[in-house]
Each structure stands twice: as C-alpha cells, then as structure tokens.
Copies of this chain bind each other. A is one copy, B any other.
C-alpha cells in the first residue's frame, strides 16, 4: 500500500535528507537490492534526529558514532554475502524499558541512572537477530507509569505525546526512525500513537517474551510496535513471528462491531463526530455492540493488580528512593500495600471473567472498532490524557491496532482502534489494512493529508 509511494521517492535517492522518510519496507527492500546502503539511511535518520531532537526530546540515549559504525558493519556483512534478516540495515528505536547490553537501560527512572544490564531483553535480541540497527533508547515515563516523560508531541510541540511509549511514537512520526518498539500494560502504545498520529500494533498477550523488560503486571505486559503504515507494522511484527511478515488482503469485507467501552462519556464531540463520519462512509454496515456491564470494573481491576505488583516490587526500597519516584508510582505502592491476598485473587478472577466476556463478543466479529483515545492530544499543561479507551482490551490480552485515520477540531490526529480475538493477530492486521485502504481510497492517510 505504501510501496508505490516509497518507490517513487526512491527516484529521489540522491536527496539523502529524504531517506529517513521512506517506509521501512521500502528501505529493507532497497538495501537488500543494493539500491541503498544501511549507512546512508542511518545518516539520514541521524541528521533528522540532530535537527529535531532539541525540540521533540524523543531519546533518552543515543550514540551517533556507534549507530554509524553498526550501519557500516551491516553493509560490510551484506557485501560479504552473509544471510540477511528481515529488518537488515533498518534503524529502529527501542523504548528505554527494555534492557540493552550496550546502552544504558534506566526505565525512565533516576533510581536506575547509569544502569547497564549485561544481557539484552529477549525482544531486543529478536531485533538484533532480524538485522535491525538499534539507534538508541527512546524516552519513557518512569517505569512506564502514567506520568509525563520529557517528550513533546512532534506535530505540535505545545501538546502531549501521551504516555508512556511517547519517545517511540514521537520518533517514528517525526521521521527520526521508521520503526520503534514500545510496551503496553494499559494504554502505553495506543495512547501515544493516537496523540502523535502513529500506526500502532499491540499483539495478543503472549506474542513474544517480555524477559528483560519492565514488567509491571505479568498478565498484561505486552510489547507495542510503532510505525507509519500498516504494512510497516506487518514487517515489524514479522521479525517476532514469521507468519506475519506479509499480510494477505481480505477476501471479503470484515464483520466490524462498533463498541463504546468504559469512559465513553469522556470522548470529545469532535472525536465522536469524526468516528461517526468514518463509520458512515465505510462500504460495510457496522453493528453496534453493547459491552457487558462488568467492563465498568475493568479500570479498578487493572489498577488493583498494578498496585499489588508495584508494592511487591518496590515496597522494600529505602525511603529516599521511594520519595524520588513519580507521584503515580508512590501512590500505587501505598495502595498496593493495603491490598489483601483475597482481594488480589478476586481481581484476578474478575480479569479472567472479562477475558471470557470479551472472547464471546469477538466470536461474532472480525474486529471491534472504537477510538484509541477520547480525543486529540492534550495540551502539555493538561497532563498526558486518558488511557481508558485501550485499557479493557489490554486487560483481556486481545490484540489491537491504532490507525491515525481521524482528525480533531485542532487538526491533530485521533486514532481508530481495532480489537481482534486472542491469537488472531494476522487477521487483525488484515482488517487494519482493509480499513486504512477503505478510508483513504478517496485520498490520503493522515500524514499525506497534512
């Protein structure tokens, strides 16, 4: 879908400053065919970062010399005839909640300043083995909690990029790197994607190992993938699961269900109208789906589980360290200490129950359609927005995509969220490609409209 425009842009290869804007698929294909070098692509990305980073603040660590050297080596390996991974030579950003053995891994926390783990996180190893070049670590909220990081929204620097994979979303949207890795327990990939206008994919629970990352609550710990198109999300996902490398077009229009979800009263009027217009313009009927009342408890369940795990993990730290934590982390620890084991097990049972209810909802639909966020990116002084739109689906471990197909009253993007069934990652990406094509048939995606 983006290959056509990518190929056109390749005609401009002599204009090196534009290589950073190519799609990931175009770049890996061009490197493989020796029409581009990894070094030239990396140089274009580093130039973009050098220009924009002082305003955007997407990175918590970056060593341009090391990145250049890695790109040079990638080209040498290719010249020597070594086998190439599916992301060979591609610059990638990694949220700083993943351990990297050659870069600081501080999880956004002053308490881990200078931490250098000896091993890579499993997800980082996957990227290395796929041939990706990790440019640096992207900014995150402290321990991926609900608290602003230093990053600004690249589309409007006075606005929030969301939390907590803000650096990864901003870096991708601002053409600093074509792909970036995030995480999500409740909304950490979907919310920044919606605010910044990125395409995002949060796979099913259990999609890939979370070892070596900042796992807050094991049962809701997911990776999140950020890119600038569904096709690039697919390429990215294929590095983790080869079955996803290419997405076959749907043979028939998808059965979509429109679901409001808890917290719908917070949705802004412009977001509602934009979504209504999108749904009305689709070539298929979209049935309204009522979410069972139990979902009203989803937020309480997630927060309870989170607080218990925070208290378990951080409760025994020295008072100084505790005081250094961001307010939501401190508050979570205090609340978690007061929870009983019985309450914890009740929360787990409620989470299981919601999972079963969600699975039943999905049995009649190829995907549920809803918003990724209650509206456009908030202004920085208003805080980082609400994650309520994606939280229930994360709790249930269902795969979701966020597509920047809507536009709010201030001309900022708003994501459309699609929710698939557990394990139905490939089918969800097919629906996402279908929906993006259907909405942009008349013209362009959000970024092309800008």
Interface residues of chain A, those whose CB is within 8 Å of chain B, are: 308-309, 311-312, 315, 336-337, 339-346, 349
A344 to B312, CA, bound (A): 9
Copies in the complex: 2
CA distance A289 to B237 in the complex (A): 44
Min CB gap A342→B, angstroms: 5
Q: Beyond the given A311-B341, A339-B342, could you list 7 further A-B residue pairs with CB under 8 A, ordered by the A residue number?
A: A308-B344, A312-B341, A312-B346, A336-B342, A339-B340, A341-B343, A341-B344
Chain B, residue nearest A348 (CB): B312
Could you list 14 examples of A-B contacts with CB < 8 Å?
A: A308-B341, A308-B342, A309-B345, A311-B341, A312-B341, A312-B342, A312-B345, A312-B349, A315-B342, A339-B340, A340-B340, A340-B341, A341-B341, A341-B343
In Å, the complex CA distance between A336 and B341 comes to 7
Q: Once the chains are docked, how many angstroms separate the CA of A349 from the CA of B343? A: 18
Complex partner residue of A339 from B309, B336, B341, B349, CB under 8 angstroms? B341
Contacts of A309 in B (CB 8 A): 345
Nearest CB of B to A355, in Å: 15
Chain B, Cβ-Cβ closest to A344: B341
Closest to A313 in B: B345
Does A342 lie within 8 Å of B346, measured CB to CB? no
- Cα A343 to Cα B339 in complex, Å, equals 10
Alpha-carbon gap, A337 to B342, bound state (A):
6
Interchain nearest-CB distance for A310 vs B (Å): 9
Contacts of A346 in B (CB 8 A): 312
Chain B residues positioned under 8 Å from A311 (CB to CB): 341-342
Q: How far in angstroms is the closest Cβ of chain B from A198?
A: 34
> How far is it, in angstroms, between the C-alpha of A193 and the C-alpha of B363 when the chains are bound?
45
Residues in B with CB closer than 8 Å to A312 are 341-342, 345-346, 349
Nearest Cβ on chain B to A399's Cβ, whole angstroms: 24
Q: Choose one: B315, B344, B349; the contact of A344 (CB below 8 Å).
A: B344
Most buried by B among A308, A342, A345, A346: A342
Closest to A316 in B: B342
A303 CB, nearest partner CB in chain B, Å: 12
Give every chain B residue within 8 A of A315 (Cβ-Cβ): 342
Contacts of A342 in B (CB 8 A): 308, 311-312, 315, 336-337, 339
- Measured between alpha carbons, how far is A308 from B308 in the docked complex, in Å? 14
Assembled-state Cα–Cα distance A337/B339 (Å): 11
Q: Considering the complex, give the chain B residue whose CB is closest to the CB of A339.
A: B341
Complex Cα spacing A341 to B342, Å: 7
Please measure, in the bound complex, the distance between the C-alpha atom of A342 and the C-alpha atom of B316, giving whole angstroms. Answer: 11
On chain B, the residues within 8 Å of A349 by CB distance are 312
Bound form: Cα–Cα A311–B340 in Å: 10
- Nearest chain B CB to A349's CB is how many angstroms away? 8
Q: How far is the CB of A149 from chain B (nearest CB, A)?
A: 27
- Closest Cβ of chain B to A43, distance in Å, is 45
